Amino acid sequence: MVNDYKDMAGAEAVAGQVRALGGRAIAVQADVGDSSQVKEMVRRALSEMGKIDVLVNNAGIYVRHEGGIVGLPDEAWQQVLDVNLSGVFYCCREVVPDMIRRKEGGKIINISSVQALLAHFEASAYQPAKAGVVALTKCLAVELAPHKINVNAIGPGAIASEGMGAMRSPRS
């Protein structure tokens, strides 16, 4: 199952590529920052695909804000935390019960960022959110190890992409 909230054409294209290679895939639209939408997304995944072996928490946003912390409004702070951190929490919370019940283990891969550890200009919501993903990953790795569920985080460096392109040159 390929989920995206803003780019359904992209999600459909990825699902189509999986099908073209002989796999089963559907594209769905859920906002990972909304726990009720995540609940429905996981319910649908389980009902249509039967089980979830691997969860990749990749959705992320970066909200550009000039002027450092002083220029960061409540809504932007909350939006970045909702998608980048709460989204990971909601998806893990919904997927884990089935993995535990099936007793076959599972894999959870959370996309954090090198910015969880390094400082950057005008990222005072993004960096705490990504550091939170690392903390949540460590916590779940310990908590879920007895169930043979591996939980890891990846911290990429700068990669040119649509959403994150703005971060490559913070002063431009």
Active-site residues: which are they? Answer: 126
Does position 83 interact with ligand NAD (CB under 6 A)? The reply is: yes
The residue number with the shortest CB distance to ligand NAD is 163
- Provide DSSP, 31-81: -TT-HHHHHHHHHHHHHHHS--SEEEE--------TTGGGG--HHHHHHHH
Please give the residues from 13 up to 72 whose contact with ligand NAD meets the rule CB under 6 A.
31-33, 58-61
x-marked contacts with ligand NAD along 99-118 as a string, rule CB under 6 A: ------------x-x-----
- Contact between 51 and 106 (Cβ < 8 Å): no
Q: What is the C-alpha R_g of the chain?
A: 17
The H or E element that residue 148 is part of is none
Stretch of residues binding ligand NAD (CB under 6 A), selected from 14-22, 65-73, 93-101, 156-164 = 156-164
In this complex, which beta carbon is closest to ligand NAD, that of residue 17 or of residue 102?
17
The H or E element that residue 85 is part of is none
> Which residues sit at the interface with ligand NAD, rule CB under 6 A?
4-7, 10, 31-33, 58-61, 83, 111, 113, 156, 158-159, 161-164
